Amino acid sequence: MTFKKLVIFDRDDTLIRDVPNLKSVSDINWLPGRLGILKALSEQSTLIAIATNQSAIGRGLLSVEEFESISEAIRRQLKENGISLWGLVACPHMPFENCGCRKPKPGLLNRLVEVAQRSDLEIFFVGNADSDMEAAKASRFQISGVKIEPTSLNGFENILNSRAEAKGK
């Protein structure tokens, strides 16, 4: 399959409801319309990834195993809906650690783009916070930031009807 786009999503309050220190699979609650958007993107030859800050790991409130269990449940739920999650990266550091991967720094985004190894992809980062938009802008790659609200589907049309689709790539 020839991929046209890479769309990276923030996780909490972008795809699923933000539950502080999410530990239980039963607490994964998809925001309205998100699975439909992801399905439509999948049908448009899009690589879908997640980049998420998870300082609860660094704080000792969430184990790596618990995070991996939640991530696997998200992958499984997506697969059950015909959606393939290409990549998932997380920053486990606390804000004061000043690492290069915690958004608003672009480390997570850069890592995903590097792994994709494709210069012809149109790249988006979708998030609900200013720090998400700052990470997209700070990336050494050309990434279009799309800020959305947890309760709205506004902004997704920019990705679904992007220039890659308009050019008929």
* Dist. CA 169–CA 160, nearest whole Å: 14
**Sheet architecture: strand order including 143-147:** 87-91, 46-53, 5-9, 122-127, 143-147
From the list 95, 76, 86, 94, the residue with the least C-alpha distance to 30 is 76
CB contact at 8 A, 127 and 147: yes
Specify whether the backbone of 98 is left (phi greater than 0), alpha (psi in -120 to 50) or beta. Answer: left
Residue with tokens 């039963």: 26
* Dist. CA 161–CA 44, nearest whole Å: 10
Instruction: Note the residue count of the chain.
Output: 169
Can 12 be counted among the known catalytic residues? Answer: yes
Can 120 be counted among the known catalytic residues? Answer: no
Q: Which of 10, 120, 130, 132 is labelled catalytic?
A: 10
Residue with tokens 């309205």: 32
Residues with active-site annotation:
10, 12
